[in-house]
Amino acid sequence: MEYNGGLDKYGLKAINSPGLGEKLGELLGLSGAVIIPANTATVRISGTTGLTEDMQLPASATEQIMLAFQNVEDTLVAAGVQDGWRAVYDLTTYHTGSLDDPEVGSALEAAFEKYLHGNKPTWAAIGVANLYQGARIEIRVTAALKA
């Protein structure tokens, strides 16, 4: 079922299947599928962690997650995506540790609220053994370049 959301501005169509897809979309803030027109210019950014400018990782998962989302925003803007996270239609997060960790869940919820502003990209969360310099999260996104 197609729904209206932030991606409409870019000519993208966000879809969630009836029933389970709609429930998961609301619960997790994601789309089951996104249709991208052939003429849409896109930006894909490489994996981004919660490193500070002096190449340090904050100790807490919350700080790392919030900083990783900010680092993605900064990279998107630098690449010409004026709306930053609002233009993201595909999101992959890589995590060490458990996604069931309450700190991680709360931090992801706060990051989605702060940065996505109701945008619902497709999203895959993948557990991994380790990440660059011991990071707790790494994020890779694809965004529409222009509205």
In tens, the pLDDT along 43-69 reads: 999 999 999 999 999 999 999 999 999
Q: Of all helices (H) and strands (E), which one includes residue 74?
A: helix 61-78
Q: Which domains does the chain have, with CATH numbers?
A: 40-144 (3.30.1330.40)
Measure the CA–CA gap between 12 and 105, rounded to whole angstroms.
28
The fraction of the chain above a pLDDT of 90, given in percent, is 67
Whole-model pTM?
A: 0.90
Quick check: 5 pLDDT over 80? no
Residue count (the chain): 147
Quick check: 73 pLDDT over 80? yes
- What would the pLDDT profile of 92-129 be if each residue is shown by its tens digit? 999 998 888 899 999 999 999 999 988 999 999 999 99
| Secondary structure class of 146 (helix, strand, coil) | coil
